[in-house]
């Protein structure tokens, strides 16, 4: 076993040692495995819950140590956490020149099958002269029958141990210490969250752990849950189309289900598809959107205003002049607060920074109406805080130097009790009600583990605000202690324990990537109201009935699944199914087996009894039925391979399934061959000899551009196609002597293969066999210029590359504007020319196209450059997904000319009017900031015709840069920050 840590290479070399079960060397003769440094126990066993941990220290004095002649020696048994342990040492080393020492499960031989236990432990050789030089090493391990002992093969050099001057052996006595902490292990497969904690988890749809942690937090605010239950919904609503009903259903299942709950109905009600579920969205944004939608649905109902009552607070933005009597204030509401982590050691420091006063002076003076530009103070103070206070910690921020988003893993502390009235209410505005006590207690800690590009989310919650914390990690809920819920989520760095204390080893520190990113506090004064009782009487009758039926259906499916091994599925295709498929959307192969009639039959049922069921279903008497097995071919198509024999039909369905498997068929697929007489009534199928070949025929109409299934024929292998031309003309409704061409349909993917058939060569010589497909058509006319696809191969090639593209205006990205049928082989010029024709434009070069993001269901940020792709297929590909959507815009200048220009969006702030107007500036890329400002002067109204303008770079309402007039605009990026233009007042 190798225990991995984030140590750098040089650190690994310094701290190298052996950490293996002793049996790996002594018994199995395996090579020792290297371990670089002691791993962080908390991180390594993060998934192991703390459940009544027990710890104990055991001291073992070994006399006459140097005179021992035994290979290995066990200590007395000691008990920790209800388990029996002992220390095992190899006095002369376990095949190494080191003392070898391990912790051993004393009763491993008598424990039941599958036993497992987890322990963190340290082993030490005590220095009896200078205790600080004692050698102590720590590790942890999950003990089981295969690895019942674990420790250090190279604990310390034998030369040091036996040197009397070192202090380890005194009077030939060695003192060994073992300190063991036992945690109960969680078995992922058998762990029952409901049984162990009383709560159940939420299933992860792919990357929805961030949503699960938020939903669990909201669910465990009972006042919120009760309000959701009281939202009016009806029995005719569908959860997938109603957020309130989907949330009611989810909360009900969380409250009463015994197993983890799925969230698919809720995400569907959000309008998400599968791709959205595999994307990590912004938690704060999800929280706001969800609450806004619920707030809107609650209007006009008995629970109107619940969201505001729970989560809404207010603060006051103010600007106060220093030298004149002028003050401007603006009241704003908030549902959550974003607090800085960087540069702030704890929550209080973040609040201090939030209300920090900013000085507006120098070039940044405030324009105070009748007083003009003035030095001023700008800040924020709170008018009131909500009963439930949601704090979003800014763990992610944009790094301007690296031009990327980064995660802030700094240590950041948050208290169990949060006092926002501290220091005489320093955070409160003069208008705040000082009679309200703003003392909060921590309810939830939402955690992000990982980096800026991904990671895992989970939540620590105190549902009743008791001392007991619970960890909600998707499907698993476990009990946790306060230390893991709070201190271990502060972030920062952690120091690994030293392997040899006292020898001046430099401690190794590593960054903790698991840390809190959202905190939920509940005001003490509102605790009893928020943490209220919620029971069945709060839940609508129709919802209880609906969920009861769902549970019954679930039990029925569960029963079906349990009995599935007793049944098999038989799929039966008929001529009607072939005719239904060929000629509409699908042109290749014979049938879509997902659409044909399926029968669920007990395996012990005889096949002849099954034929009775087919007779009832299709109205075809048993004596007129003949069944063929389908076989999968190398070209990945299924074709009827051979009829069932009388002996096979006498078998059971289960036995026939085994026969089916031998012809490369995972399911039992059958083709029902039925012959019809002149009166269209079934007749007995003709006997099939070895010389008979069953062929299927499709007819291609060049005028209609249509390929359709017309029937099947038995032909003699020794016969020639020329002998059946009259029969084919009759099937097609042609004159008996109509000249027709024949083609064998061979494969469709990855390329079309459809070869002409020589009518004068026998079927056997042309390698035709049962199940093959022949396409035929009238012989192509000489003067067929009006026909786009004159023969079957060219038509199938067209079908193979045909693509219906949905075009949307970039200004209305959710609505289809028009659709065009195109070929994926179309060039860039072909595509824009078709779009221009559709829009009635003469110049295709003013069309600019933007591809579709299959995951976000939005236009990609970058449009397609002029002739930047070769074919339509390149425009529609997004990673491994293929889209059928393109966005278009009509430019005022040709795209090649536009690409030589730089486009910037500039927000112009008028000097005296309280207005901001966004202007689009388009100039050659070599232009300067001065050129931008000159262009802007022609578009805006200035307070003074002689006024000068300046261009600023603004991010989060703060000025980061004032552009010099001579700076080139080509390097300016307005994607992440705002470009602000304003007058310079002298």
The catalytic residue among 291, 456, 754, 852 is 456
Indicate the helix (H) or strand (E) that contains 648.
helix 646-649
Indicate the helix (H) or strand (E) that contains 265.
helix 264-269
Q: Do 472 and 454 touch, CB atoms closer than 8 A?
A: no
Architecture of the 54-183 domain: Sandwich (2.60)
Say how many Å lie between the first and final Cα of the chain, rounded. 73
Phi, psi of 106 (to 5 degrees): -65, -35
Range list for CATH 3.10.20.90 in the chain: 798-891, 898-984
For residues 129-162, b (16+ Cβ closer than 10 Å) or e, as one string?
eeeeebbbbbbbbebbeebbbbbbbbbbebeebb
More confident of the two residues 945 and 532: 532
Residue 413 CA to residue 391 CA, distance in Å, equals 13
Question: Residues of the chain with pLDDT > 70: what percent?
Answer: 87
Question: Residues of the chain with pLDDT > 90: what percent?
Answer: 41
- Catalytic residue flag (residue 456): yes
389: burial class by Cβ within 10 Å (0-12, 13-18, 19+)?
buried
At 100, the pLDDT band (50, 70, 90 cuts) reads: very high
Average pLDDT over residues 252-260: 89
The DSSP result for 2-64, as a single string, is -------HHHHHHT-EE-B-THHHHTT-PPPPEE-SPPPHHHHTTTSPP-S-EEEEEEEEESS
For the chain, helix, strand, coil in percent to 5 are 25, 35, 40
Structure tokens at 382: 């709170």
Residue 122's DSSP bridge partners are: 138, 179
Residue 454 CA to residue 399 CA, distance in Å, equals 17
The catalytic residue among 22, 141, 209, 775 is 209
Alpha-helical (H) ranges within 688-756 are 725-732
Integer angstrom CA distances of residue 312 from 164, 384, 391: 72, 9, 12
pLDDT the model gives residue 28: 30
pLDDT of 790 > 60? The answer is yes
pLDDT in tens, 115-162: 788 888 889 999 999 888 888 888 878 788 878 898 888 899 998 999
Range list for CATH 2.60.210.10 in the chain: 54-183
517: burial class by Cβ within 10 Å (0-12, 13-18, 19+)?
buried
- Parallel, antiparallel, or unpaired for β 116-125 and 358-360? unpaired
The DSSP result for 106-151, as a single string, is TTGGGSPTT-EEEEEEEEEE--SS-GGG-EEEEEEEEEESS--EEE
- Give the count of beta carbons closer than 10 Å to the beta carbon of residue 402: 8
Q: 199-308 adopts what CATH topology?
A: Cathepsin B; Chain A (3.90.70)
SS3 222: helix
pLDDT in tens, 21-40: 444 333 332 222 222 223 33
SS3 869: coil
Range list for CATH 3.90.70.10 in the chain: 199-308
pLDDT the model gives residue 496: 52
Structure tokens at 491: 């972030």
Residue 514 CA to residue 839 CA, distance in Å, equals 54
From the list 360, 486, 478, the residue with the least C-alpha distance to 957 is 360
pLDDT in tens, 711-720: 999 999 999 9
CATH dotted code for 798-891: 3.10.20.90
Integer angstrom CA distances of residue 190 from 247, 259, 808: 28, 12, 51
Beta-carbon contacts of residue 832 (< 8 Å; ≥ 6 apart): 844, 845, 847, 849
Residue 18 CA to residue 151 CA, distance in Å, equals 8
Quote the longest CA-to-CA distance of the chain: 118
CATH dotted code for 898-984: 3.10.20.90
pLDDT the model gives residue 399: 67
pLDDT in tens, 734-754: 999 999 999 999 888 888 889
pLDDT in tens, 601-624: 999 999 999 999 999 999 999 999
pTM of the model: 0.51
Average pLDDT over residues 386-406: 81
CATH number belonging to the domain at 567-664, selected among 3.40.50, 3.40.1710, 3.30.780, 3.10.20: 3.10.20
Beta-carbon contacts of residue 37 (< 8 Å; ≥ 6 apart): 5, 7, 11, 12, 15, 496, 499, 508
CA 663 to chain centre: 39
Q: Do 730 and 740 touch, CB atoms closer than 8 A?
A: no
pLDDT the model gives residue 777: 94
Integer angstrom CA distances of residue 322 from 206, 317, 368, 428, 984: 55, 16, 11, 21, 22
pLDDT of 195 > 80? The answer is yes
Q: Do 443 and 462 touch, CB atoms closer than 8 A?
A: yes
Q: Is the dihedral of CA 597, 601, 607, 609 positive or negative?
A: negative
């Amino acid at each position: 076993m190798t225990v991995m840590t984030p140590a750098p290479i040089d650190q690994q070399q310094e701290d190298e040692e052996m950490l293996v079960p002793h049996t790996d060397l002594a018994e199995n003769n395996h090579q020792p495995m290297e371990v670089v440094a002691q791993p962080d126990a908390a991180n390594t066993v993060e998934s192991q819950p703390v459940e009544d941990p027990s710890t104990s220290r055991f001291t073992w004095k070994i006399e006459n140590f140097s005179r021992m002649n035994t290979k290995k020696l066990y200590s007395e048994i000691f008990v920790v956490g209800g388990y029996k342990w002992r220390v095992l040492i190899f006095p002369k080393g376990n095949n190494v020149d080191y003392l070898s020492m391990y912790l051993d499960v004393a009763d491993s031989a008598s424990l039941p099958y599958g036993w497992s236990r987890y322990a963190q432990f340290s082993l030490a050789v005590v220095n009896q002269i200078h205790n600080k030089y004692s050698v102590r090493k720590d590790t942890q391990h999950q003990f089981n029958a295969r690895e019942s002992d674990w420790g250090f093969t190279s604990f310390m050099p034998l030369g040091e141990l036996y040197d009397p001057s070192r202090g380890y052996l005194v009077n030939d006595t060695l003192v060994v210490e073992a300190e063991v902490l036992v945690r109960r292990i969680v078995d992922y497969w058998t762990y029952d969250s409901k049984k162990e904690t009383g709560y159940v988890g939420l299933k992860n749809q792919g990357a929805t752990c961030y949503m699960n942690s938020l939903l669990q937090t909201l669910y465990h605010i009972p006042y919120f849950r009760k309000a959701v239950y009281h939202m009016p919904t009806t029995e005719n609503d569908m959860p997938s189309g109603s957020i309130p009903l989907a949330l009611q259903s989810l909360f009900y299942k969380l409250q009463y289900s015994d197993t983890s709950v799925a969230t698919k109905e809720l995400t569907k009600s959000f309008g998400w598809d599968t791709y959205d579920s595999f994307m990590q969205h912004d938690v704060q944004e999800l929280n706001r959107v969800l609450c806004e939608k619920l707030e809107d649905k609650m209007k006009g109902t008995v629970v109107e205003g619940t969201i505001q009552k729970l989560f809404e607070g207010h603060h006051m933005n103010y600007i106060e002049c220093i030298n004149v009597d002028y003050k401007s204030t603006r009241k704003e509401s908030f549902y959550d607060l974003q607090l800085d982590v960087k540069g702030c050691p704890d929550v209080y420091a973040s609040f201090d920074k939030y209300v920090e006063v900013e000085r507006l002076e120098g070039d940044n003076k405030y324009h105070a109406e009748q007083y003009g530009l003035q030095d001023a103070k700008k800040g924020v103070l709170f008018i009131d805080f909500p009963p439930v206070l949601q704090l979003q910690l800014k763990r992610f921020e944009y790094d301007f130097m690296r031009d990327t988003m980064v995660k802030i893993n700094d240590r950041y502390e948050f208290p169990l009790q949060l006092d926002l009235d501290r220091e005489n209410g320093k955070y409160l505005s003069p208008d705040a009600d000082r009679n309200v006590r703003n003392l909060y207690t921590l309810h939830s800690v939402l955690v992000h583990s990982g980096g800026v590009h991904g990671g895992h989310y989970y939540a620590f919650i105190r549902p009743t605000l008791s001392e007991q914390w619970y960890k909600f990690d998707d499907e698993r809920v476990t009990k946790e202690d306060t230390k893991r819920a709070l201190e271990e989520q502060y972030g920062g760095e952690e120091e690994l324990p030293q392997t040899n204390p006292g020898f001046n080893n430099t401690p190794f520190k590593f960054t903790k990537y698991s840390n809190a990113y959202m905190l939920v506090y509940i005001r003490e004064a509102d605790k009893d109201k928020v943490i209220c009782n919620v029971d069945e009487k709060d839940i609508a009758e129709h919802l209880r009935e609906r969920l009861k039926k769902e549970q019954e259906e679930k039990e029925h499916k569960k029963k079906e699944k349990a009995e599935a091994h007793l049944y098999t599925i038989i799929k039966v295709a008929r001529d009607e199914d072939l005719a239904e498929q060929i000629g509409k959307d699908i042109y290749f192969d014979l049938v879509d087996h997902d659409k044909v009639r399926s029968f669920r039959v007990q395996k012990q049922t005889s096949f002849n009894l099954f034929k009775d069921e087919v007779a009832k279903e299709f109205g075809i008497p048993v004596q007129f039925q003949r069944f063929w097995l389908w076989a999968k071919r190398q070209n990945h198509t299924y074709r009827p391979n051979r009829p069932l024999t009388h002996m096979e039909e006498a078998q059971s369905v289960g036995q026939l399934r085994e026969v089916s498997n031998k012809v490369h068929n995972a399911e039992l697929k059958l083709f029902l061959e039925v012959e019809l007489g002149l009166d269209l009534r079934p007749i007995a199928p003709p006997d099939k000899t070895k010389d008979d070949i069953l062929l299927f025929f499709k007819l291609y109409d060049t005028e209609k551009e249509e390929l359709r299934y017309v029937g099947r024929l038995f032909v003699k292998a020794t016969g020639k196609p020329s002998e059946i031309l009259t029969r084919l003309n009759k099937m097609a409704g042609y004159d008996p002597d109509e000249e027709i061409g024949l083609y064998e349909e061979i494969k469709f993917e990855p390329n079309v293969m459809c070869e002409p058939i020589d009518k004068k060569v026998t079927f056997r010589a042309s390698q035709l066999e049962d199940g093959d497909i022949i396409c035929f058509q009238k012989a192509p006319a000489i003067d067929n210029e009006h026909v786009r696809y004159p023969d079957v191969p060219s038509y199938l090639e067209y079908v193979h590359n045909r693509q219906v593209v949905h075009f949307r205006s970039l200004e209305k990205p959710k609505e289809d504007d028009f659709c065009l049928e195109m070929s994926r082989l179309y060039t860039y010029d072909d595509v824009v020319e078709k779009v221009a024709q559709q829009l009635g434009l003469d110049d295709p070069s003013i069309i600019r196209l933007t591809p579709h993001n299959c995951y976000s269901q939005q236009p990609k940020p970058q449009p397609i450059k002029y002739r930047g792709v070769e074919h339509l297929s390149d425009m529609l590909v997004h990673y491994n997904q293929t889209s059928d959507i393109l966005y278009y815009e009509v430019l005022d200048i040709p795209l090649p000319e536009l690409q030589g220009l730089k486009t910037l969006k500039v927000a112009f702030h008028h000097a005296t009017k309280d207005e901001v107007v966004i202007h689009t500036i388009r100039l050659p890329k070599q232009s300067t900031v001065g050129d931008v400002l000159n262009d802007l002067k022609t578009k805006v109204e200035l307070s003074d015709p002689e006024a000068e303008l300046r261009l600023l770079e603004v991010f989060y309402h703060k000025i980061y840069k004032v552009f010099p007039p001579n700076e080139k605009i080509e390097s300016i990026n307005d994607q992440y920050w705002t470009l602000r233009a304003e007058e310079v007042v002298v």
